[in-house]
Structure 1
Amino acid sequence: MPLTMMSDGCRVHYDVRGAAGPAVGLIPGLGGDGRFWEPVAERLASRFRLLIVDHRGAGRSDRPEGPYTIARIAADVLEIMDEAGCARAHLVGHSTGGTVVQTIALDNPDRVDRLIISGSWPGPDARFRALFEARLALLEAGRPDIYQAFTHVLGYDAEWIASHEAELDAAVGRAAQSLAPLSVAMDRIRMLLAFDRAAELGSIRAPALILGARDDEMILFAQSERIAHGIPGATLAAFDGGHFYPRTRADLFARHVGDFLMPHSAPSAP
């Protein structure tokens, strides 16, 4: 579980899983903790060499004061790829991670083989701004517990919440610690409101799979449709399971990833 020094002195955590196979970068969402991917990584590690990245400002990485930008997190991913000896990789990004991999595909296309953008957006619209400004206001008011509870309601479907109530309650209880310092958590929300590459999507040339959930209350499926319509030749696939469907539907998600990244291998079992 290495912490590696970025070019600006921030230490960023990443894990390497799987000894062989094509390199795949897994970039998590706003929570920024690579452990989000654990159910998916368990299902992919036998076929791929996984680079599982924590964001700066979150997870097990350093949390320096800002500014924070999607472009800086994208640069961290490229520096980690360099350290791991990966000139190119498949990139899989969920939610905020999807904005990171969009950025790499646009600004460093030579580093990307295939691209999977999951539960993400190309730029803010009015609903997105209203929602994330409300989430920001909860942190500004010093209520990380309510912020975390709100995240669960928006992120998981009702069935998952009912069957994981104790686990989610514990996460609410840890929110003040896990989101500290709140100044950094707030800057990381502001970086989402500042991100907008929608007009540039037509420049992406990597084969792209766009995933979204029709019951996602955090990032509406219409955002995935916007991305799919913007990237030439992109494929769009729909899930259910709420915004965190890589966890709630890990088998199905991993199957889509494996089949898209290794299209000429034997088909996955149904």
Structure 2
Amino acid sequence: MDFRWPPPPDGRPDRFRPPVTRGPQTGRPTLPAPPTEQIATPHGVELEWLVTGEGDPVTVFAHGLGSGIAETRPLGSAVTGRKAFFHFRGHGHSAAPGGQWTYEDLARDLRAVADLSGATRALGVSMGAGALCRLLADNPGRFDRAVFFLPAVLDTPRPAAAQDRLTALLESIEAGDAAAVADVISQEIPSQMRNTPAVWAFLRQRLDQLMRDGLATGLQSLPEQAAIDDRAALSSVTAQCLVLGCRGDELHPAAVAEQLAEALPDAELHVYDRPGILWTQRADLRSRISTFLNA
């Protein structure tokens, strides 16, 4: 299959192929994929997971829609103790039960991994942050510390622009259109960096995973859903929380981060000035997360 967008660093057309297995390059927000395992959960959905590190505490990491273990691993690189990374249903090699899924279903996946790993701390990214909200609304004392990175939805559905972009991603993957998938993914990256070798390597890795594993159709209704019915349900959460938002990100409005921090009884809020945090503020982001979780 010819693949001509975005152009490789040398400007010549290239063919879509799996990325070369090697260590991460400067500015690349992913790490080489290690072997993972399949685990059975009490609610009957087999999930793919990876546990790294040693000792306590244990932290569980929940990824965003269309992302996975590779994208959340860098966020835990400076976090002490064991770290449990996993793929939600419909992602990676995790199972994809029939029907349309809700944030309650995602919260069950997250809760199962947390219970099986003994996690007392959690980090959720975008969709994963929504699942973490739902879990804590239903089980307010489940975690000691929680990080919400780029929360996208709380008690109202995502904006129409965000729904459209996520729908375009799901439809492009379903159609097997690698160029269209790359087009959607590239919108997450600052425009001034899109033609760099690091970004090209990142796009190839994401494309390889998405075009190989796909995304289940059960995810299609998620962009139209809210994570919880009423943010007041978070008033009983006992965990110390860190909420990290960003201005100018249409998929993750800063207002959602501000509303979430206000709804949580014990929350620290930090809002970055512009999108592309994993590319432009990676060191600061890792420091904030590790300082909070390692406290």
TM-score, length of structure 1 as denominator length: 0.81
Deviation (angstroms), 1:159: 3.6
Indicate conservation of the 8 Å contact 1:33/1:60, yes or no.
no
Q: What is the rounded CA distance, in whole Å, between the counterparts of 1:179 and 1:73 in structure 2?
A: 19
Map 1:111-126 onto structure 2 (within 5 A): 111-120=142-151, 121-125=153-157
Q: What is the rounded CA distance, in whole Å, between the counterparts of 1:175 and 1:4 in structure 2?
A: 20
Q: What is the rounded CA distance, in whole Å, between the counterparts of 1:34 and 1:247 in structure 2?
A: 18
Q: Judging changes above 3 Å, is the alpha-carbon distance between structure 1 residues 241 and 28 closer, same or farther for their aligned structure 2 residues?
A: farther
SS at match of 2:84: strand
Q: Judging changes above 3 Å, is the alpha-carbon distance between structure 1 residues 168 and 147 closer, same or farther for their aligned structure 2 residues?
A: same
Q: What is the rounded CA distance, in whole Å, between the counterparts of 1:258 and 1:137 in structure 2?
A: 34
Map 1:4-83 onto structure 2 (within 5 A): 4-44=39-79, 47-83=80-116
Stretches of structure 2 lacking an aligned partner (at least 5 in a row): 1-35
Q: What is the rounded CA distance, in whole Å, between the counterparts of 2:227 and 2:144 in structure 1?
A: 23
- Of residues 201-210 and 99-108 in structure 1, the stretch that sits farther from structure 2 once superposed is 201-210
Higher helix share: 1
Map 1:251-262 onto structure 2 (within 5 A): 251-262=283-294
| Matched residue, 1:109 | 140
Q: What is the rounded CA distance, in whole Å, between the counterparts of 1:171 and 1:16 in structure 2?
A: 21
Map 1:182-201 onto structure 2 (within 5 A): 184=216, 186-197=217-228, 198-199=230-231, 200-201=233-234
Q: Judging changes above 3 Å, is the alpha-carbon distance between structure 1 residues 60 and 50 closer, same or farther for their aligned structure 2 residues?
A: same
Residue 231 (str. 1) matches residue 291 (str. 2): no
Q: Judging changes above 3 Å, is the alpha-carbon distance between structure 1 residues 131 and 192 closer, same or farther for their aligned structure 2 residues?
A: closer
Deviation (angstroms), 1:234: 1.6
| Matched residue, 1:266 | none
Q: What is the rounded CA distance, in whole Å, between the counterparts of 1:220 and 1:187 in structure 2?
A: 24
SS at match of 1:43: coil
**Between the two proteins, what is the percent identity of the paired residues?**
21
Across the two proteins, how many residue pairs are aligned to each other?
253
Stretches of structure 1 lacking an aligned partner (at least 5 in a row): 264-270
SS at match of 1:112: coil
| Matched residue, 1:267 | none
Indicate conservation of the 8 Å contact 1:99/1:122, yes or no.
yes
Residue 152 (str. 1) matches residue 189 (str. 2): no
| Matched residue, 2:26 | none
Q: What value does the CA root-mean-square deviation take over the aligned residues?
A: 2.7
| Matched residue, 1:90 | 121
- Aligned AA for 2:59? V
Q: Judging changes above 3 Å, is the alpha-carbon distance between structure 1 residues 64 and 32 closer, same or farther for their aligned structure 2 residues?
A: farther
* Higher RCO (Cα < 8 Å, 6 or more apart): 2
Deviation (angstroms), 1:91: 0.9
Q: What is the rounded CA distance, in whole Å, between the counterparts of 2:207 and 2:294 in structure 1?
A: 41
Deviation (angstroms), 1:174: 4.1
